[in-house]
Amino acid sequence: MLKFIDEKKITYLALAEAHYSHKVNGEKSLQGVIYTNSDVLKSIDRGWSVELENEKYFITYATPVDNGENITVEFDAIHEFFFDFGKSSIYEELSGDHSLAEYLNFIFNGSGYSYTLDAQADSFEKSNFGMKNRLSLFNDVINTTNTEFEIVGKNVRITDQLGEDLSSIVKKGFNMQELGLEHNIAGFITYAKGFGAFNDENDESKGRLVAEYKSPFADVYGILEGDPLVDEKCGDKSELESRLEALVCNSYTISVSLTLEDLQKAGYEYALPKPGDYILAINENLGFSSKIRIISVDQEYDVHQNIYDYKVTCSSESLIEEQQKADVAMANTWREIQNGNKRIPNDWLTDAVNVATEALLNAQTEIKFTKTGILAIDKKNANNLVLFNSAGIGISSNGGKTFENAITAKGINASVIKTGTLEASLLKLSWNTISNSIQFTGDAIETYENGSKTLGINGAGMYVYYPNKSEPLFSLTRAGSQNNPFGILGIRKGQPFDISRKTSKGETEQTYSSMLSFDPDANTINVNSQLILNQMRPDKNYKGINFHGMTLSGNAGIALVNEDGNAGIWFGDNGDMAHLINGIWKSVN
């Protein structure tokens, strides 16, 4: 639902579809159809506004449509900045040579808006600048300085050029539905002439600065003249020639229209491009692959304000610029070959060399040098690429939207590592949360739960820890002597240790009953249920050892005897041990 606000600041909600348009020149506008809320359908008029994505748009056009059974209203709206500036005038004038900031202060003072200047521009002269609405004066300054702007709330940011070079790829069959090309032929020219400052401003008969530019395409298409460029303030010939070259080179461009898939709906970490951004568009069916700049974005919202269609209009580099780049590349062929940056043409090679060269180049990788770094792109699948720059190395399988595998100054991030030998001073494996982990240190393996150590294993033995305690609750270590090969079971003083069994009641309720408990303070071992120590060799006729609720303690040692009393074993407190065989004790030592 959209929020509509009347001239009295009363808010109404109504079901409405909306078409949102955002252009690189800063324009933001809405068109839509309202379906519900009779208060809105019958009363929408002057002074009404509508909100979308936390931005306000003033209604500039509204017309009811009788559909027979119901009434709908079609409307147009513009962003509040354009409405406010278009309805606010300046009743004074500014003349002479002033900086860009001075002109902006003149326009913005008392407007209720602020500006941020991120552009560099020389001072320029305006005569009788003023006595118009603020929007007209603002557009005049933007056009004069060849800058761009964007609106963020009540602030207007002025910059040399909006957007970023995303190094993003839009490709038909992946995140692009359609790509259309429009060749702008009507304005194509091959020649332009310019006139600058007079040699003597008091005597025009002494002539003036004159420059011209002729495109290489003039030899193909003839001299096609453009309108003369006249600027009496320009006294620099190189500057005038540069402007003439830009005028000719930009006279023939290709406009590209794209329909993109909003991959964010599928949970894909991918930000939709904005006006001003540069992207790489690929449509293999049309043989089109070029870096293009987005100049406008159109989004379609349903009545629930979900985006169901996303179209962008782009402008590619001019064909003249592309041809000039090709000419320069041809002129530098030998130098590129000498530097190892270009292959020798096939007709220079023998058959044997061709065969060997083709075998080496089966990798099918394309290298590109961009502002963000060096891109190595898989020619068979442009979504697979590697980025090299000063920050590190990133590997992407989605055209550079995310780099799931990367090497940076902060470390290595990888989804899978395959290695034969891994050497590290600390290896930490985490799951669920960072606080649950297994750590492999230089001499031990340790497990942690909720940040607290629970188990440690090293060359001396195994240690079990109680949560948030530094001393082991339970330890099993070796004696450390060849004369005493038995292990030592250690239990923390003041902390009894139980060996329990789990019993179930029904399908859900589970209980634990103690079988064997150790009390280090009382120096006792308690057997709370029948404990059977079975024979280790079934081929021998030993019955095992049975205890029924017995307590074994003492300083001299412990004897374990079978039910018949003719077999057993005795452990002394000084490390001695004896066997009971056929009713006779025999020392083992």
Top-confidence residue, 413 or 161: 161
Look up the pTM and report it: 0.48
Confidence tier at 451 by pLDDT (50, 70, 90): confident
Starting from the edge strand earliest in sequence, which strands make up the sheet with 191-198, in order?
A: 208-214, 191-198, 229-230
196, 240 Cβ separation under 8 angstroms: yes
Place of tokens 């800058």: 147
pLDDT band at 165 (very low <50, low <70, confident <90, very high): confident
Tens of pLDDT, residue by residue over 392-442, are 888 887 777 677 788 887 778 776 676 656 776 666 666 555 567 788 777
Of 161, 170, 165, the closest CA to residue 370 belongs to 165
Q: What is the pLDDT of residue 396?
A: 83
pLDDT at 584: 80
Residue 284: is it exposed, middle or buried by C-beta count within 10 angstroms (0-12/13-18/19+)? exposed
Q: Is the pLDDT of residue 226 over 80?
A: yes
What pLDDT does 563 receive?
A: 62
Model confidence at 32, pLDDT cuts 50, 70, 90, reads: very high
Average pLDDT over residues 542-552: 37
Q: What does the mean pLDDT of the chain come to?
A: 75
What percentage of the chain carries pLDDT values higher than 90? 28
Tokens 């040579």 sit on residue: 97
pLDDT band at 447 (very low <50, low <70, confident <90, very high): confident
Name the more confident of 563 and 47.
47
pLDDT tops 80 at residue 178: no
The answer to which of 101-105, 116-120, 171-175, 257-261 has the lowest mean pLDDT is 171-175
Contact 63, 45 (CB under 8 A): no
- Catalogue the long-range contacts made by 451-456 (C-beta closer than 8 Å, 24 or more residues apart): none
For 242, the 3-state DSSP assignment is helix
Average pLDDT on 435-451 reads 78
Residue 29: what pLDDT? 94
Answer yes or no: is pLDDT of 349 > 50.
no
Bridge partners, residue 561, by sequence: 568
Alpha-helical (H) ranges within 146-268 are 218-221, 237-249
Cα separation, 581 vs 589, in Å, equals 15
Mean pLDDT for 246-274 is 65
Please work out, in degrees rounded to the nearest 5, the angle formed at the alpha carbon of residue 389 by the alpha carbons of 363 and 415. Answer: 65
Residues 6+ apart with CB under 8 A from 271: 264, 401
Strands 155-159 and 114-118: parallel
Contacts of 6 (CB under 8 A, 6+ apart): 12, 43, 44, 47, 48
Most confident of the ranges 175-179, 288-292, 361-365: 288-292
pLDDT tens profile 379-396: 666 677 788 887 888 888
Percent over 70 (pLDDT), the chain: 64
- At a CB cut-off of 8 Å and minimum separation 6, what does 169 contact? 279, 280, 281, 282, 382, 383, 399, 400
Pick 386 or 495 by higher pLDDT: 386
- Which residue would you say has higher pLDDT here, 306 or 371? 306
Over range 237-242, report the average pLDDT.
88
